[in-house]
Amino acid sequence: QKEVEQDPGPLSVPEGAIVSLNCTYSNSAFQYFMWYRQYSRKGPELLMYTYSSGNKEDGRFTAQVDKSSKYISLFIRDSQPSDSATYLCAMSGANSGYALNFGKGTSLLVTP
């Protein structure tokens, strides 16, 4: 079983929709939870970071971590065509040497 599971999509939504992206994981030692965004032909860039459980909000983006369910989410409100990209979840923890464990990424398309 992969340590981090992420539905690859593609996910297509109309402009203005609320987008929900999710990852599940199996390693209970993960403590750091990240979302990276990757535009076509570019390297990933860090979008959000959360330590342990809870919510974090940054503008139109909200990251949620539920450690009891081993489930993390990224919500995008009022989605824009410029949000069209691949979203990668990543996690790290002490027992993996804090190496980033990435999901395979979800491809998102926001149509005007």
Partner 1 sequence: EAQVTQNPRYLITVTGKKLTVTCSQNMNHEYMSWYRQDPGLGLRQIYYSMNVEVTDKGDVPEGYKVSRKEKRNFPLILESPSPNQTSLYFCASSGRSGRGAYEQYFGPGTRLTVT
- Binding of partner 1 by 84 (CB under 8 A): no
- Binding of partner 1 by 44 (CB under 8 A): yes
Whichever of 42 and 77 has its CB closer to partner 1, that residue is: 42
The half-sphere exposure of 44 on its side-chain side, counting CA atoms within 13 A, is 19
- Binding of partner 1 by 100 (CB under 8 A): yes
Binding residue for partner 1, selected from 15, 28, 29, 46, defined by CB under 8 A: 46
Is residue 100 a contact partner of residue 92, using CB atoms and an 8 Å limit?
A: yes
Whichever of 70 and 104 has its CB closer to partner 1, that residue is: 104
Distance, in Å, from the CA atom of 51 to the CA atom of 92, rounded to the nearest integer, reads: 10
Looking only at residues 24 through 43 of this chain, which bind partner 1 when binding is defined by CB under 8 A? 31-32, 34, 41-43
Nearest to 46 by CA among 111, 93, 102: 102
Alpha carbon of 46 to those of 38, 39, 43, 95, 111: distances in Å? 9, 12, 10, 22, 23
- Binding of partner 1 by 63 (CB under 8 A): no
Q: Can you give the binding site for partner 1, defined by CB under 8 A?
A: 6, 8, 31-32, 34, 41-46, 49, 88, 90, 92, 94, 98-100, 102-105
